Amino acid sequence: MTDFTPNQKTLGAILFSRSGEVLSGSFLSESLGISRQAVSKNIGILRKTGFPVFSIERKGYVLKDSEESLHPLLLENEIQRLGSSGKAWYFHSLPSTQKVMKEFAKKGAPEGSLVVGETQTAGKGRTARSWVSPAGKGLYFSLLLRPSLPPGCVQLLNLLAGLAVCQSIEECTTLFCDLKWPNDVLYGNKKICGILSEAATDSDSIRYAVVGIGVNVNTAITEFPEEIRETATSLYDISKKTFSRRRLLLKIYDNFIQKYHLMLSRGFDSFLPSYEERCSTIGKNISLSYRDELLYGKAEGITKEGALILYTGEERLILHSGDVRHLR
């Protein structure tokens, strides 16, 4: 992770806002109120961090942004363009974006902030599982929220994220994915994305929530460990095409934040019908494991709290969490 100075951030913002245009050294030096040498030095530093700025002899500097780079200054400018005041951090390698985002949250990071990892050495899945994170192939990120909601509502963030991912994948790739309750994104019964929402709560409210999303984007099936090759897939595996991770990340971010604000103002009803439409668990016979119990039944629907209604043949159970398997 690099910490950028205010001058570097301003330079990044100007170049981003006029991407593709050659901007002269004197224009940049006047805009920032610093010397041309200082501009050149800061451009050099930005370049070393992977910011795609190039100098054109005797003309100036240009940002050549291919939509591939996950550089934090590009991400931060992109999310600000979407109306967020969040910050963005990028790590070449880190244990888990969840862990790092929780540290930033404790230090006061604003809502809408993003932590992105090129690879994770201890990617965290649900129920103490791990999340395989091959470098440069997938999207691994955590998003910080500070909702005024009671602690029980964390599940709604999970459902919201699942729906946002499905819709974003469709918008970026035309591939139609569905949801296994609560928030596994599937393509043909294979998992393409996992979501983990964690929150720090007081007795009656959420202090902050961190929504972690892992999407298998350009990963070849051989890059997954053998034990998950039968159950995991990627956008590349399905279509044999590669996709821009940044475009997908920003689409997920935008879709999620829009739905999130709608939910805060109008409640879960604002997205329950779209969620149910995408959720292939509903109407299926399933098994659900929760702690030491294994339950069987038909999934009948979702409650207003995002819980699953399971009819066992004898009774209707309302289940707030658990691991679901779709049965034939």
Q: Point out which residues bind ligand BTN (CB under 6 A).
A: 96-98, 120, 123-126, 129, 131, 140-142, 184, 194-196, 212-214
The least CB distance from residue 48 to ligand BTN, in Å, is 27
Rank residues 134 and 214 by Cβ distance to ligand BTN and give the closer one.
214
Pairing of strands 178-180, 184-187: antiparallel
- Residue 235, CB half-sphere, CA atoms under 13 Å: how many? 26
**Extended beta strands in 244-315, E state:** 285-290, 293-302, 308-311
Q: How far apart are CA 62 and CA 64, in angstroms?
A: 6
Element (H, E) at 38: helix 36-48
Residue 189 CB, nearest distance to ligand BTN (Å)? 15
Least Å from the CB of residue 237 to ligand BTN? 17
In this structure, what token pair is assigned to residue 102?
Answer: 């929780």
| Residue among 42 and 137 whose Cβ is closer to ligand BTN | 137
Residue 274 CA to its chain's centroid (Å)? 20
CB nearer ligand BTN, residue 25 or residue 138: 138
Burial 243-276 (b: 16+ CB within 10 A, else e): bbbbbbbbbbbbbbbebbeebeeeebebbbeebb
Copy the structure tokens of residue 57.
């002899």
For the purposes of burial, counting CB atoms within 10 Å of the CB of 225, is it exposed (0-12), middle (13-18) or buried (19 or more)?
Answer: exposed
Query: Cβ 217 to ligand BTN, closest distance in Å?
Result: 12
Q: How far is the CB of 173 from ligand BTN (least distance, A)?
A: 19
Q: Which is nearer to ligand BTN, 184 or 237 (CB)?
A: 184
Q: How many CB atoms lie within 10 A of CB 47?
A: 14
The CA-based dihedral angle spanning residues 128, 134, 136, 137, taken in that order and rounded to the nearest 10 degrees: -90
In the complex with ligand BTN, the residue whose CB is nearer, 43 or 109, is: 109
**Least distance between ligand BTN and beta carbon 106 (Å):** 17
- For residues 141 and 268, which CB has a smaller minimum distance to ligand BTN in the complex? 141
Burial class, 298, CB count within 10 angstroms (exposed 0-12 / middle 13-18 / buried 19+): middle
CB-nearer residue toward ligand BTN: 12 or 162: 162
Please state, in angstroms and rounded to a whole number, the distance separating the CA atoms of residues 313 and 164.
33
Q: How far is the CB of 141 from ligand BTN (least distance, A)?
A: 6
Nearer to ligand BTN, 100 or 206 (CB): 100
Give the nearest distance from C-beta 283 to ligand BTN in angstroms: 22
**Which residue sits closest to ligand BTN, CB atoms considered?**
194
